[in-house]
Every structure is written in C-alpha cells, then in structure tokens.
A and B are shown apart, each in its own frame.
Chain A
Amino acid sequence: MKINRIVFVVAALLLPGLLLPEMLWAHNISDNNAQFIEGVEGAAIAPFMYLGAKHMVTGYDHLLFLVGVIFFLYKLRDVVLYVTLFTIGHSVTLLLGVLGGLQVNAYLIDAVIGFSIVYKAFENMGGFKKLLGVQPNTRIAVLVFGLFHGLGLATKLQEFSLSKDGLVANIVSFNIGVEIGQILALTAILLLLWQWRRRPSFVKHAFLANTLLMTGGFALAGYQLAGYFAAA
C-alpha cells in the first residue's frame, strides 16, 4: 500500500514533466507532412484522414480537454452525448473556417483552447458549484469550446497553401480523421478512467488530477499568449 502510494506520487510528479515539453512544443503539423500536403493537388482522402487522426492523437490540448470532459461521466450514454456535442462544435468551425477562409490568430485561438482546459478542470474541482454558486450549462459549454477547438484545427490547416482542387474532399477527410483519432484516444482514456474510478486512490487524487489538468491548461494558454506577444 505504501509502495503503491509512493509510485503514484512519483508518477504524478513525473507525468507533467514528461508531457510538458511535448505539450509546449507548438502543436503544429510537422514540416515534412506540411510539404507533402502543400504538394497535393486534388482529393487525397487517406493522407488527410491520417493527418487529422495524427493531429488529434498527438494533440495534448484536445486530449487534455477531453480528459476533463469525461472525467466524471460514468454512463456511456453521457460520454457519447458530450463527445457528440464537442464533435459537432469543432466540425462546424473546421469546415466553415477553412472553406470560408476565416482568418483568426492561431495563438489566440490556442490560448482559448488552453483556457477551455482550465475551465473544465475548475468545473471538475467543484469550483462553479461550491465557490461561485452558479453552474453554467455543461452541455452548452462543451459545444462552445468545441467551436473554438475547431477554429484551432482550421487555423492549422490554413497555414498551408492548400490546392483549391479537391479542397472540400480533403477537409472532410481531415475532419473524419480527427474523429477517428478522437475515438482512439477516448477509448484509451476511458479504459484508464474506468479502472481508476474503482480504486480508493481515485477518491484521494481526483482533485489533484484536476489541479494538474488545470496547470497544463494554464501552461498552454500562457505559452500561446507569449507566442502572440512575441510575434506581434
């Protein structure tokens, strides 16, 4: 029991240390992938689907938010409901953002995405109910933050001069890839959460986990804001 606790504490301390460099390494599409998709003319369904999935699975900002969203969701029905709301939100702005040529500053959008993690962690800590005495609608919140996450995805794609030829097919493919990546990541997160929530350690450390989640959110938001001011 004691050893278990030590292992847990060490892991809890190490994990953010391991994740942070990855998280803070700007979460952009890698250089070689970028050259590839800029060279694409016409519909390239599989490459764009792969990119979408890769972006989601390696995207700590999106993943941390999802961890926050499903942290206290126990029924599969609820998980599906909230994830669907998130999906609707980000798909709408991804498609409209790229097709409509909506220009938003990538740093600011990524900072909002960082704050969405802070928001969700604060909600999980009981901050709204116990501290502020108001609980904003959780479904609307996840939908609205979904819209911002989609804008973030859209700005990542818009950094490239994508060929107009086959643009719709390629963005839809990217979007489908994002959903595949999301399902893969969610499955892993849910399996771990389901295991953890049965153990007494969950009672002890759930609050700490959300504090760490919030730390990650603040760090991401701060990093992006610093990037915004450094680039200005």
Chain B
Amino acid sequence: MSGSISLKVQVDAGRCQGHNRCYAIAPELFEIDDYGNSRAKGDGSVPPALEEKARLAVKNCPEHAVRLTQES
C-alpha cells in the first residue's frame, strides 16, 4: 500500500429503503435525510481508521445499496 489509494463509500439512492443499518454502524460516514434515506457524508471519503466500519456498513445493508470504491 503506497497510501495513494483512497476508499469512498457510496449509497445507491435507487436501492436504499431506509433500513439505516449503515448509519447505525458508521454515523461518521453516513447521514440520514428526513425521509430516512441514507447518503454518504461529504464526498464519501473513508479515513483509514474507519475502513473496517465502512466494510461492515456494506456487508450489513439488506438492500445491497452501500458500496465501497477505490480511487487512486
């Protein structure tokens, strides 16, 4: 790892049904609108300390709406 790869979370608005599991796991990375739908905070960048939480948010979404992407 050179440190130049950054991870980002994304929520697919078409799939999110408002289970709010991602927000429960990582409130640092997700925010919920008035209607209960989730979106990534800011540009979705995941600091290294939150990588594990980001992975768990992906793996616990019942609708497969949360994604983790790598950008170099």
Q: Check if A and B associate.
A: no
